[in-house]
Chain A
Amino acid sequence: MGKTTESSRADGLKLPIYMDNHATTRTDPRVLEAMLPYFTETFGNAASRNHEFGWVAEQAVEQARTEIAKLIGATAKEIIFTSGATESDNLAIKGVAEMYREKGDHIITQATEHKAVLDSCKRLEKRGYRVTWLPVQKDGRIDVDDLKRAIDDKTILVTIMAANNEIGVLQPIREIGAICHERGVLFHSDAVQAIGKVPFNVGEDNVDIASISAHKFYGPKGVGALYVRRKNPRVQLAAQIDGGGHERGMRSGTLNVPGIVGLGKACEIAAAEMADEAVKLAALRERLKTAIMGRLDEVYINGSMEHRLPGNLNLSFAYVEGESLLMGINDVAVSSGSACTSATLEPSYVLKALGAGDDLAHSSIRFGIGRFNTEAEVDYVARRVVETVNRLRELSPLYEMAKEGVDLKKVHWATEPTQ
């Protein structure tokens, strides 16, 4: 997209509207305020043990560690700071694989994981590990019986996300964790989309390793964490970045103190406000869903509505291609599973895994409602979506054919160029 100019309207709406909160979130002003002194006044290196600057920085880091631990039911010593979710996922998966190689060579994951998990597993497969890729059901959740059957005596790790980034579907992690513990297998969960949005507790949910990212819940970009269980069982990870031995040797590199302070603050706010916020977001999401689906036919919801992040809505608009829809609602920031919005020219693998069919995958829009969205914004977005879908359907040969009673599934489409 080109440069967007922000404008204020008579009705008080500020355009463009941001409704892509699974991609990233606006840093909460309270988070930014907490971070600022650590750039300028108290800018020390948390690893400097011999002067005041270092001590102040270290104290701030430890405070943040405590806040994160509190939010997820862990202890401060179980939190390792990283540069974000991708690094956390890589460290968790490759770190376990390398450390437990003598115990086994088998890893289990599932189809709709984030690329940071899928590609880490693929890398291990190339290095000779065995990886089982569990399918998901139509609602986007795995069948835990599939998991039970997949575990063998050489399984060292199960890695399954808490909440999906495209469809917001929550995996049954508590059950998954219980199965893993019963079978003596470590359980890693990419909890990036869930933490700060829905309850997540490493004790109750039986999670051994969890990936966390600050910017997904109103913290800054470029900082994340990994929860690594220290008791029952004590998890060990082979470091993936070597250096000064920071973070108990698991992740070397000078700590991003302002970022870490921001992450801690984001956790503190989430712990206090998450319950109320979830109610508010679910109401906004319902408002959006009703406003769109009440006025358009042939709109399909992707993934379970029951087991879902409160701020997520993922819809497929039959007969309309996703990128052209995004183009029509250019004053609203949302994202699409359409191939045309990606570099690969492949539609969303997440939607394909649900068995949605490529045509509906191309027609999908992800709405990510967040802390700063309002009812007026939701109403505006719904109105723009409805008018644009109607306009594009008038332009769509598929819509015309469907209205004429043609069964599009039975049409012989020339998928190869004619020359």
Chain B
Amino acid sequence: MSYSDKVLDHYTNPRNVGSLDKSSPEVGTGLVGAPECGDVMKLQIKVNPETNVIEDAKFKTFGCGSAIASSSLATEWVKGKSIDEALAIRNTDIVKELALPPVKIHCSVLAEDAIRAAISDWKKKNAAEREQEPQDQQR
């Protein structure tokens, strides 16, 4: 198996490795994949509540070099994007950018899933909060 230069670069110098506070209302966390499948990605976004722009993103990945590269690239891409723009990222964009071979396409699919899962977590949290707000006011 030979790797593209971009995969090697992301593997050697992964961007945005780490964790955000998953209890914060501004943070959405996506955890996708399964250990027995050989890939688990955790991708987190921090969203500005005023502008709905993703201000920060972090990831941690258990998986092959292409899985690490796909999630590293995903964090780079979502940063600075609005929620809707981030939702428009497709796995095929990742495949193209990293020149992933056919056997590694599932890595890009997982990265897209991770973005969507993080956004959906953030949305869920914030929907709950919006519901809570009027109740608070009643008291």
Interchain nearest-CB distance for A177 vs B (Å): 37
Residue among A328, A347, A398 making CB contact with B62, cutoff 8 Å: A398
The reply to whether A397 and B61 form a contact with Cβ atoms under 8 Å apart is: yes
Interchain nearest-CB distance for B89 vs A (Å): 13
The reply to whether B113 and A413 form a contact with Cβ atoms under 8 Å apart is: no
- Stretch from A19-27, A126-134, A210-218, A355-363 at the B interface: A355-363
Interchain nearest-CB distance for B123 vs A (Å): 14
A50 part of interface (Cβ distance < 8 Å): no
B46 part of interface (Cβ distance < 8 Å): no
The reply to whether B34 and A324 form a contact with Cβ atoms under 8 Å apart is: no
B83 part of interface (Cβ distance < 8 Å): no
The reply to whether B65 and A338 form a contact with Cβ atoms under 8 Å apart is: no
Distance A305 CA – B11 CA, assembled complex (angstroms): 34
Distance A418 CA – B17 CA, assembled complex (angstroms): 23
B41 part of interface (Cβ distance < 8 Å): yes
Q: Which residues of B contact A (CB under 8 A)?
A: 1-3, 11, 14, 17, 19, 31-42, 60-68, 103, 109-110, 113, 116-117
The reply to whether B68 and A324 form a contact with Cβ atoms under 8 Å apart is: yes
The reply to whether A395 and B14 form a contact with Cβ atoms under 8 Å apart is: yes
User: Can you offer 30 A-B residue contacts whose CB atoms are under 8 A?
Assistant: A1-B1, A1-B2, A2-B2, A320-B62, A321-B62, A323-B1, A323-B64, A324-B64, A327-B3, A327-B64, A328-B11, A338-B64, A358-B37, A359-B35, A359-B36, A362-B38, A394-B17, A395-B60, A395-B61, A395-B68, A396-B61, A398-B35, A400-B19, A400-B60, A414-B33, A415-B34, A415-B36, A417-B109, A418-B113, A419-B113
A340 part of interface (Cβ distance < 8 Å): yes
Report the nearest B residue to A345, measured CB to CB.
B103
A90 part of interface (Cβ distance < 8 Å): no
The reply to whether B31 and A323 form a contact with Cβ atoms under 8 Å apart is: no
Residue among A327, A399, A408 making CB contact with B11, cutoff 8 Å: A327
Report the nearest A residue to B109, measured CB to CB.
A417
Distance A1 CA – B65 CA, assembled complex (angstroms): 13
- 1/0 per residue, CB under 8 A from B, across A5-47: the answer is 0000000000000000000000000000000000000000000
The reply to whether B38 and A321 form a contact with Cβ atoms under 8 Å apart is: yes
Q: Report the 3 A-B pairs with minimum CB-CB distance, sorted nearest first.
A: A413-B34, A358-B36, A359-B35
Q: Besides A321-B62, A397-B40, A414-B34, 8 other CB < 8 A contacts?
A: A321-B39, A321-B63, A338-B64, A396-B60, A398-B62, A400-B42, A400-B60, A415-B34
